[in-house]
């Protein structure tokens, strides 16, 4: 009986020591598993310091690159279709840069032929506004451009308020709201938002508009200052603007 009583502590100690060794081996393996990726990352950073710095620089300059690319188009009141294949979009913006008069005519013709698809995209993005989109597109198809333009401008503003809680045509407030968004793709979002964050015909204030100003301007239309805006071109520009706003806000929603 005495012998059996003495063996239990010995056996327990042996098991405990074995268990302790197993634990130590596990911890060592775990540390190795952690240290190896760290070592690889340090090595990559050391070997690719120039590449990483270039990527950081690209993140800073990317919005200005997009600005340079689309500025000729936006300056004439047209907005890029962000879902257009890049090669096609690149050709469009190059056309606006080299031959703006012809580019306007061609883009207006292109957009007019895409209206059913554009309406579907807008509705798919925000089904609750279907009835408003329908009224706007019916008015456009019937040549009632004095009716269609305000609808499209107002819906762009409504989408921004609904999705961002921001006033679309107050650039200062819009930029402030955008900087508060936790968005991992901020550089891309800022680049896409550039036409909405900088002075363009559609959002220029009274102080920014020259006396000879004749572009499509949201304030002048919705406040009754402009009584000549009712043209097919302006209606297509308003559609272009609305589609751009819808697509950009969808991107921000998806990447936030």
Write out pLDDT tens, residues 48-102.
Answer: 666 555 545 444 444 555 667 788 999 999 998 888 887 888 888 889 999 999 9
Model pLDDT, residue 90 = 82
- Tell me the pLDDT tens digit for each residue of 235-254: 999 999 999 999 888 877 66
Token readout for 148 is 């269609």
What does pTM read for this prediction?
0.73
60 vs 64: CA distance, rounded Å: 8
Whole-number Cα distances in Å, 127 to 112, 132, 240 = 22, 10, 19
Q: Who has greater pLDDT, 40 or 186?
A: 40
Mean pLDDT of 181-206: 74
Tens of pLDDT, residue by residue over 107-166, are: 999 999 999 999 999 999 999 999 999 999 999 999 999 999 999 999 999 998 998 887
Dist CA 91 CA 110 (whole Å): 13
Q: Structural domain boundaries of the chain? A: 1-47, 62-255
Per the rule left: phi > 0, alpha: psi between -120 and 50, beta: everything else, 143 is left
């Amino acid at each position: 009986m005495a012998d059996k009583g003495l063996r239990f502590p010995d056996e327990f100690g042996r098991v405990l020591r074995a268990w302790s060794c197993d634990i130590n081996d596990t911890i060592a393996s775990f540390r190795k598993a952690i240290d190896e990726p760290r070592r690889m990352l340090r090595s990559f950073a050391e070997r690719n310091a120039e590449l990483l710095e270039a990527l950081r620089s690209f993140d800073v300059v990317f919005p200005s690159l997009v600005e340079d690319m689309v500025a000729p188009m936006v300056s004439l009141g047209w907005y890029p279709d962000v879902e257009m294949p890049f090669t096609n979009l690149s050709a469009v913006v190059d056309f606006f840069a080299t031959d703006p008069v012809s580019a306007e005519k061609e883009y207006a013709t292109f957009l007019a032929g895409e209206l059913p698809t554009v309406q579907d995209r807008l509705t798919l993005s925000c089904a609750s506004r279907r009835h408003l989109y329908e009224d706007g597109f019916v008015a456009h198809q019937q040549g009632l451009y004095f009716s269609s333009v305000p609808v499209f401008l107002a819906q762009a503003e409504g989408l921004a308020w609904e999705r961002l809680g921001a006033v679309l045509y107050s650039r200062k407030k819009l930029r402030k709201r955008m900087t508060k968004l936790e968005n991992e793709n901020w550089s891309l979002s800022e680049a896409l938002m550039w036409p909405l964050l900088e002075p363009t015909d559609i959002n220029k204030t009274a102080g920014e508009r020259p006396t000879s100003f004749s572009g499509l301007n949201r304030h002048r239309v919705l406040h009754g200052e402009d009584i000549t805006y009712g043209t097919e071109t302006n209606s297509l520009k308003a559609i272009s603007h609305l589609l751009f706003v819808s697509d950009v806000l969808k991107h921000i929603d998806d990447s936030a």
